[in-house]
Amino acid sequence: MNRTFPTITPVSWLPAKQVLGGEASDFTPWLQQESSLEILGRALKLDDLMAVKTEHNVLGKRLDILARALDENGEEVPVCIENQYGMSDADHLGRLIAYLAQHERGRAVWIVEQAHDAFVAAVRFLNRTSVPDVGYYLVQVRFTHGLDGGYQVHFEVLAAPIAWERTSTHQGGTHQVNQSKVSYLSTILELVEAGLLAAGFPSMNTHAHGSYLWIQWPTDLWFRAFSRRLDIRVTKERAIVAIYVSSFDTKEANSTAADILRGRYAAELADRLPDGTHMEWDAVGSGLRKVVRLEMPGGGYQGGEVAEVAAWASSCCTTLLELLRSDPFAALEADVALRLPGASVSTTDELDDESIDE
């Protein structure tokens, strides 16, 4: 039998300089973009990877990108990203270790064009001998031609933290439970649940692994069409109320919707939210979703006053609900479509792409 196959050829990788130009002048500014960090975050299995500062001064040297993300346990950690064209070398590895040492915890990400076997082994050795709060990634970046004259990027993770490798929680692996965090969140749940249900939220509960508390928006709220839920989260240092814009069919559309919402509600929220609340409108969400975060510094499970945190979180959630009810925005989908022709809202009624323990 004669069969016809599509034309299949080997992948042709392109030098980063051919695609983006200089390392400091072009590659780092490209990588710090939300869309680029989203691709890198998926490769590293770090959610909500977000740039904090570029060319960050450390001991007279400059870290390319200082970022933050949620690690495999849902804990917020600093992420030090160092880029290197050409072959990996000892100087860049030494600097990366020094950068991460300034934070005493977090993740170090070394992105290179070519990785010598000796440095792959070195990063794996660092991960085997490091404490659980510290982890190193060695990542090879490669580009190839894409559609319409563009390019595609591939981040190949050559070495990663041991904890990352052993806690693939959704595919039969083990999940390391942070009991201090779970206990803290359980107390918050006990303190806020009755008040939030009375305010009109139909249901709330803990995530399946105790990583956060989820709260469903009322089904009759106009915003429910664009966001299925909000969360109460805690890290060691802060408490967070996270609002997701997740129902549009692309990441860009969800980000555009969040920008429009910011223009309409940011000033009013700043006046009505509890004193000391920090609003973060530029957080990067995993998958297609966009995240807006309200933060309470000092409200984390190490040192935070749980009753105070519960009162703050409850006030944030009820303030959001009251504002969205009193000032509905029926034109949101149309405004997004004006900026991004063809953008549409999914009709599915699933909460989103994360597992929820009802």
CATH of the domain at 330: 3.30.1460
Assess if residue 1 is contained within a domain: no
258 and 153 co-located in one domain: no
Assess if residue 106 is contained within a domain: yes
Assess if residue 2 is contained within a domain: no
Residue 127 structural domain? 16-166
The b/e string for 192-220 (b: 16+ C-beta within 10 A; e otherwise) is bbeebeeeebeebebbebbbbbbbbbbee
Assess if residue 114 is contained within a domain: yes
Number of domains in the chain: 2
pLDDT for 7 = 86
pLDDT for 72 = 66
Tell me which of 109, 133, 166 is where a domain ends. 166
249 and 278 co-located in one domain: yes
3 state SS of 195: helix
Please report, as a single letter, which amino acid is at residue 216: Q
pLDDT for 69 = 86
Tell me which of 166, 189, 205 is where a domain ends. 166
Contact 130, 92 (CB under 8 A): no
pLDDT for 46 = 85
Q: Give the end-to-end CA distance of the chain in Å, rounded to a whole number.
A: 54
What CATH number is associated with residue 76?
A: 3.40.1350.10
215 and 320 co-located in one domain: yes
149 and 222 co-located in one domain: no
217 and 270 co-located in one domain: yes
97 and 161 co-located in one domain: yes
91 and 152 co-located in one domain: yes
194 and 328 co-located in one domain: yes
pLDDT for 73 = 64
Assess if residue 38 is contained within a domain: yes
pLDDT for 51 = 87
191 and 334 co-located in one domain: yes
Q: Is 0.85 topped by the overall pTM? A: no
Which own/partner pairs from 211-220 qualify as long-range (CB within 8 Å, at least 24 positions apart)?
211/73, 211/74, 211/181, 212/74, 212/185, 212/242, 213/185, 213/188, 213/189, 214/351, 214/356, 215/317, 216/351, 217/321, 218/321
301 and 255 co-located in one domain: yes
Tell me which of 118, 142, 166 is where a domain ends. 166
50 and 151 co-located in one domain: yes
Tokens 């007279």, located at residue: 60
Dist. CA 38–CA 291, nearest whole Å:
12
pLDDT for 287 = 66
Assess if residue 349 is contained within a domain: no
Dist. CA 231–CA 282, nearest whole Å:
17
- For the chain, which residues score pLDDT lower than 70? 1, 57-60, 72-74, 163-177, 208-210, 284-287, 346-358
282 and 325 co-located in one domain: yes
Assess if residue 217 is contained within a domain: yes
Dihedral of CA 274/192/295/298: which sign?
Answer: positive
Tokens found for residue 302: 């190490």
Assess if residue 351 is contained within a domain: no
